[in-house]
Structure 1
Amino acid sequence: MNTVTKPLWSYDVQKTEQWLTDQAKVGYHLKELHRFKRGFTFEKGNPKDVTYRIGYDKIKPATLSNTMRNDGWEKVTQSGKWYIIANERPQAEVNTSTSRDAIIMRNNFIFYAFMAILIYITGATLANVALITTATIASDGNVEVVESPLWIITYTAAALTTAFYVFMVYSVWKIKKTNKALSNENSTTHTLEEKSLAEVNEKQLKREDILIKRRKFGWMYSPDKLEKWLEQMAAEGNRLHRISKLGTTFYFRKGEPQHIKYSADYQNLSNDTYFEIHRQAGWKDEFSSKGALQKWTIWSKEYEEGETPPALYSDKTHKLKQAKKVALSYTVLFLPLVLMYLFIASVNIGYMFRKEEAWTLHDTNTIMFFICILVFGTFITKTWMYYFRLRRA
């Protein structure tokens, strides 16, 4: 028996699966997974071609469906909610696999937790730097450093905090990359030829003045207004053609007036099941944001004149609950920044009126802080206005 430790194996399950397959090819076959020790135990044997898949399931112990068993899958080991299955059939003959939804949701939870910690540490660091800078400027650069036998504690804490910060930055980047790869496993991709053809057709439509472009910045803070605008454009004969990757540019094709219902839906965690349910109900996803903190999807569904406009959700209170979730999410995201900038600006404003020098870079920074307060405060206000509009309705 041989045990190999891989501390961050769960950050990239696809790479870990390929590593397990490579181990089997040289005669080391997986026997046990150690969740807390972050290790894998192998047994030496004959080289084999084995396909491994890693799953995550809240139900313990995880069980395989009859379909997967008939397809050649067998569970090798399980530790906690993690389990690993193997298949000795040729990959071309394997038609089933494990679902990635649970792993993506787990990764997203870690992603959001690390992002919150990163924002807090970054904000605290910027606040301290601003205070030190202000104090230095106010004292005309005369700063006295007091020696202390406890500096070793400060340096050690600073080194550990820096290392932890770098680790979280790496974790956020790696998890985002892994989730994108997992989400794209079963998705269909366009060939380069199809993409080039679409670009040529779009340029032709622009030359013929059939394709028009409009920009909408910050629509996610007032999604109900975006929905009404898109529906009005469709009623005027401008059907939505596509939305840019950033979600700020909207392309429309001129044509006959149509009755189309649009719905901007906010989801903290979305997966393939979420999209499949709405697609089966006749909805078309026009846009889906790629950001980790803003999971917006714009849906559309055409209906005939005289029909009741369709609703994305049958529960009439869902839209109000969603609006409250949007307001709370953006408040949690922007309010700490507003308070931090407000504190820094309030400290700096007194110095601006006390100093005798002309306009300095320090004054420009203070004005920038007030602009940030205004911008982020506007975002928070717009989301709560959106919530109260729906509640009144």
Structure 2
Amino acid sequence: MTVKKWRPLWSYDVEKTESWLSEMAKDGMLLTDINRLTRMFSFEQGQLEIAEHRIIYDKLQGDLPGTLADSGWESEVTEGKWTFVKNCAKDIYIFPSREGVLKRNRLHMYVISVLAFLNAIPLSSMTIAFMTLLLGFPGGIVGSPWWSITALFALQGIATIVLAFYIHRKLRSFEIEHFEIQPDTDIRMSKTFAKLRIGWMYAPDLLEKWLSEMATEGNHLVRVTGSGTRFHFVKGEAQNVSYIYDFQPKVAPAYYAIHKSTGWQLKFTSSFTFMKYTLWAKPYEDGGRVPCLTYDKVERRGQVRRIMTMNGIVVSYVVAMLMFALWISFNVDYDRSPLNTIILAFLVASSISPLFLVTRVILYYRRMRNAGIQERMQ
């Protein structure tokens, strides 16, 4: 007897899917086929089976590596670049790699996030238009048979945005579980205190210096919360600690494990799958060489350029959006109601923030350039 089960989002939560397949096998439902387009799983009734299931994504399909086969893993179903394997052994010490699944789901998240952003722009405009009508501003709704298309567009836009958040959340959990992305938390029992730092990624050299000085005063960073704005410290003995900020447009799956294996402690990493802002720490002895992620001057200049480029793009976008909103506010003819006046005042006040960020970015570049000149003179 063939039984079919529909799981539309199985590939974005492979761990849950693997557990589900193992539970199905315990009930004697053995996987026989999977349709990638319809997202349908096919099972046949058979003998009860206690097995560990794993899902592999590999662009270069072929036989299982010898190490996996010798450990008891066997292929169950292959569909496209996906391979479903199982292992009935009682003790399993070697498991398939997760890198293929991570890279594939990262790519999907990039694409769907872009689509979600593109949908969010017209949806925001539609929401503002409807809100103005609900608040009693002049205007009206014109009857049209095309409203059904508008409604369908809004529904697919909302669905795309929800899907983007779902994939991001699942991908984040997957990275934490398998790729050592979880920050290293100091487990000292002393009472902690917090300090606020906003916009530090636009002047990372100042943050590195500040954290190192805090450590020499006996204030040790234990964690960073509030999306990277609240720094929590615990009082202890004075210590030399090198703090390094690292920005990468995207990171390799082994990025965190490699740095941790060389003694670096992960203090913070942004939740974005791309545009990773990461803060590393490493203690060192008095008179010793200050640890760095790289001592190569070319690589360090490249890091400065990446930070400048990305921060410049982000700040330019924010400035452009604010300037456009201000232009609309000053040029569109409408009644200056108290609400509109408040919105206009908020936009004007908000334009100060990007100017502050621009100043920090420029000053950071000047400090790095002067530091580079001094290094070449030495």
What interval of TM-score do these two structures reach, taking the shorter chain for normalisation? 0.7 to 0.9
Are the equivalent residues in 1 in contact too, given 2:75–2:84 (CA < 8 A)?
Answer: yes
Q: What corresponds to 2:42 in structure 1?
A: 41
* Correspondence list, 1:297-376, <5 A: 297-333=278-314, 335-350=316-331, 360-376=338-354
Are the equivalent residues in 1 in contact too, given 2:32–2:76 (CA < 8 A)?
Answer: yes
Superposition deviation, residue 30 in structure 1: 1.8
Superposition deviation, residue 134 in structure 1: 8.4
In 1, Cα distance between equivalents of 2:202 and 2:86: 46
Aligned partner letter, 1:46: Q
User: CA offsets per residue over residues 318-359 of structure 1, 9 Å max, x none?
Assistant: 33333333344445555444433322221212468x85x6x6
Task: Sort the Cα spacing of 1:340 and 1:249 in 2 relative to 1 into closer, same or farther, 3 A.
Answer: closer
User: CA offsets per residue over residues 115-149 of structure 1, 9 Å max, x none?
Assistant: 33333332344346667888999xx95536555xx
Superposition deviation, residue 263 in structure 1: 0.4
In 1, Cα distance between equivalents of 2:324 and 2:248: 32
Superposition deviation, residue 316 in structure 1: 2.8
Superposition deviation, residue 15 in structure 1: 1.9
User: CA offsets per residue over residues 69-123 of structure 1, 9 Å max, x none?
Assistant: 2221112233333221111223xx1222223233233323322333333333323
In 2, Cα distance between equivalents of 1:299 and 1:145: 55
Are the equivalent residues in 2 in contact too, given 1:9–1:16 (CA < 8 A)?
Answer: yes
In 1, Cα distance between equivalents of 2:159 and 2:332: 38
Q: What corresponds to 1:72 in structure 2?
A: 72
User: CA offsets per residue over residues 235-283 of structure 1, 9 Å max, x none?
Assistant: 4x33423123223233445555543221011234446621221122222
Task: Sort the Cα spacing of 1:272 and 1:141 in 2 relative to 1 into closer, same or farther, 3 A.
Answer: closer
Unaligned runs of 5+ in 2: 373-378
Are the equivalent residues in 1 in contact too, given 2:12–2:171 (CA < 8 A)?
Answer: no
Superposition deviation, residue 376 in structure 1: 4.0
Superposition deviation, residue 22 in structure 1: 2.5
Are the equivalent residues in 1 in contact too, given 2:196–2:231 (CA < 8 A)?
Answer: yes
- Which TM-score applies when normalising by structure 2? 0.81
In 2, Cα distance between equivalents of 1:170 and 1:9: 16
Q: What corresponds to 1:172 in structure 2?
A: 164
In 1, Cα distance between equivalents of 2:237 and 2:177: 38
Unaligned runs of 5+ in 1: 204-210
**Is the partner of 1:17 in helix, strand or coil?**
helix
Aligned partner letter, 1:165: G
Superposition deviation, residue 213 in structure 1: 4.0
**Is the partner of 1:118 in helix, strand or coil?**
helix
**Is the partner of 1:317 in helix, strand or coil?**
helix
Task: Sort the Cα spacing of 1:62 and 1:185 in 2 relative to 1 into closer, same or farther, 3 A.
Answer: farther
- Aligned-residue Cα RMSD (Å) equals 3.6
Of 125, 147, 153, which residue of structure 2 is paired with 1:161? 153
Count of matched residue positions in the alignment of Structure 1 and Structure 2: 366
**Is the partner of 2:243 in helix, strand or coil?**
strand
Q: What corresponds to 1:263 in structure 2?
A: 244
